Amino acid sequence: MDTVLIKQAAIFSDLEEGELERVAEITKEQKFKFGQTIFKEGEPGNRLFLIAEGEVRISRQVPGSGEEALSVLKPGACFGEMAVFDRSERSTDAIANKDCTLLTITRSDFEMLLDFDRDLAFKVLWSVTRLLCQRLRVTNDNLRSFLAMSMF
């Protein structure tokens, strides 16, 4: 597996070459055709994904409106990781926006890797903490904008 691609993912960006190789050892490749569902909201979050090629659309179904695309992810992006960390259900749908090749890591393999290598775990968990902080700031900014617009 290509460690350069794995290092592009925010949660693995602090890892050194040997650590990236250990992550690469537990990845598996999956291919999806354009329009194919990767996972649906409400399903168990039992793996995370890293985009090697193509694009993935993250969306939600809005009652009465249909699909609302939240983002389109490009190669190097990681998704599905939060459900792996908190053992929750998927909060969105993920759909192949183009034919794509994804690297996947199962929850059990990921947890075993973190248990086995505490230094690697520390780096990944700090990266996840920073990622969650960034996402929370964006959510707060979006909420602030929404509230400001709703007052008029």
114 three-class SS: helix
Q: What are phi and psi of 104, to 5 degrees?
A: -120, 150
Cα-based distances in Å from 144 to 59, 130, 147 = 22, 21, 5
pLDDT of residue 40: 95
Ranges of each domain in the chain: 3-150
| pLDDT at residue number 1 | 59
Six-digit token string for 27 = 């990845």
User: What's the CATH number of domain 3-150, 2.60.120.10, 3.90.420.10, 3.40.50.720, 3.30.565.10?
Assistant: 2.60.120.10
Block means of pLDDT (10 residues each) for the chain, length 152 residues?
A: 87 95 96 97 93 95 85 93 86 95 95 94 93 87 83 68
